[in-house]
C-alpha cells in the first residue's frame, strides 16, 4: 500500500476548516483547480468522497469527518514538535498556563512565584472556565491548567490530573463580627454566611456539616468567585466559608479573623496536563518544584 501524501492531507485539512474552496485556495496560495485536483487524489487514495456540496459550502462526509480528526492530530503533533524544538533552542522560554477564573489568586501566585523572577522565562497566564481551558489544553495551546478538581475523563482526551495541594476551609470574618463568644452551631445558624454555590467541593462539605448538626444556615450570599467572597467578608457582609490562603493578607494584618477550621471540609488544587510526545520542560519543572515544596511544608 502506498504511503499517504501529506501534501494532499494538508490541502484537505485547509478546505475542511475553511468550508470553502476559494478561501482555502487563497490561504494556501494555490489555484482552486490545483486544490481540487489534490483533494480528488486524496479521495482516490482513500476510496471515499470527503466532501459533499451544500449550497456554496462544502460539508464533510462521514469519512471526511473521520479524516479531519486524524488530520487535526497529525498537524497538531507537527506544530508541537516545531514549538518544542524552538522552545528548547530559544534563549527565552515560554510557559502557557490556564487557571480557573474563580481559583484563589493567592494560590496562583504561590504556584507561579518561583518562576516569575527568571529572566529566561515568560509566563503567560489565561483565565477561563473549566471547559474552555481543557479544550485549549487538548489543542496544545496551553501547557497546563490549574483547577480545583480533577479533569473529567471521557477517554477521548488523555488528561492527567496532578494533585498539588489540599487546603483546609475555615470560617472567617471581621473582628467586630466575632466579638461575642459563640459556638460553631450558633455562628452557622445565626450569623449571615457567604458561601460558594451548590455543586462545589467546599459547599458539598459544608452542607454535610450542617446536615449532621441539624441546623438551617442563614445564607447571605452564594458566590462562585473567591475574590468576591474575600471582598464581601472584608465589607462585613457575613462570615465567609473560604480557604485561609484566599485571605492570607487580611489575616496577617488583622482585617479578618479565622474563627475555626471546619472539620472535614477541604479544597483541592490540581494541575492538569495532557499526554504529549514533547511536553514543555518548564511545565514539568514547575510541577516538580511545587510538589517538592509542598512536601517540605
Question: Residue 174: what pLDDT?
Answer: 93
Tens digits of pLDDT across the chain (297 residues): 356 777 888 888 888 888 888 888 888 888 888 888 888 888 888 888 988 887 777 888 888 888 888 888 888 777 766 666 665 555 457 889 999 988 888 889 989 888 888 777 888 899 999 989 998 998 888 999 999 889 887 666 789 999 998 888 999 999 988 766 778 888 888 899 999 998 888 888 899 999 998 989 999 999 988 889 999 999 999 999 999 988 999 999 999 999 888 888 888 899 999 887 778 888 888 888 888 888 777
Q: Which CATH class is domain 6-85?
A: mainly alpha
Query: What is the domain partition of the chain in residue ranges?
Result: 6-85, 90-165+269-296, 167-266
Domains 6-85 and 90-165+269-296 share a fold: no
pTM: 0.62
| Cα-trace Rg, the chain | 26
Question: Residue 1: what pLDDT?
Answer: 39
For the domain bounded by 90-165+269-296, which CATH number is listed? Answer: 3.40.190.10
Superfamily of domain 167-266 in CATH is Periplasmic binding protein-like II (3.40.190.10)
Amino acid at each position: 500500500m502506498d504511503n499517504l501524501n501529506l501534501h494532499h492531507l494538508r490541502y484537505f485539512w485547509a478546505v475542511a476548516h475553511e468550508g470553502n474552496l476559494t478561501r482555502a485556495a487563497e490561504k494556501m496560495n494555490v489555484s482552486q483547480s490545483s486544490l481540487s485536483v489534490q483533494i480528488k487524489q486524496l479521495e482516490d487514495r482513500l476510496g471515499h468522497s470527503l466532501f459533499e456540496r451544500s449550497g456554496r459550502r462544502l460539508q464533510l462526509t462521514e469519512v471526511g469527518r473521520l479524516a479531519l480528526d486524524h488530520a487535526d492530530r497529525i498537524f497538531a503533533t507537527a506544530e508541537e514538535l516545531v514549538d518544542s524544538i524552538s522552545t528548547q533552542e530559544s534563549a527565552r522560554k515560554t510557559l502557557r498556563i490556564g487557571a480557573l477564573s474563580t481559583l484563589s489568586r493567592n494560590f496562583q501566585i504561590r504556584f507561579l512565584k518561583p518562576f516569575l523572577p527568571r529572566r529566561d522565562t515568560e509566563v503567560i497566564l489565561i483565565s477561563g472556565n473549566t471547559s474552555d481551558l481543557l479544550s485549549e489544553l487538548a489543542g496544545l495551546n496551553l501547557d497546563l491548567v490549574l483547577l480545583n478538581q480533577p479533569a473529567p475523563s471521557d477517554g477521548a482526551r488523555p488528561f492527567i490530573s496532578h494533585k498539588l495541594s489540599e487546603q483546609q476551609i475555615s470560617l472567617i470574618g471581621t473582628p467586630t463580627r466575632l466579638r461575642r463568644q459563640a459556638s460553631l452551631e450558633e455562628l452557622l445558624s445565626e450569623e449571615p454566611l457567604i458561601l460558594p454555590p451548590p455543586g462545589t467541593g467546599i459547599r458539598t462539605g459544608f452542607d454535610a456539616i450542617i446536615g449532621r448538626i441539624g441546623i438551617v444556615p442563614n445564607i447571605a450570599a452564594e458566590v462562585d468567585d473567591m475574590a468576591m467572597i474575600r471582598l464581601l467578608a472584608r465589607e462585613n457582609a457575613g462570615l465567609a466559608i473560604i480557604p485561609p490562603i484566599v485571605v492570607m493578607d487580611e489575616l496577617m494584618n488583622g482585617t479578618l479573623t479565622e474563627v475555626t477550621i471546619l472539620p472535614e471540609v477541604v479544597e483541592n488544587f490540581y494541575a492538569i496536563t495532557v499526554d504529549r510526545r514533547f511536553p514543555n520542560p518548564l511545565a514539568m519543572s514547575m510541577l516538580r518544584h511545587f510538589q517538592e515544596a509542598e512536601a517540605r511544608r
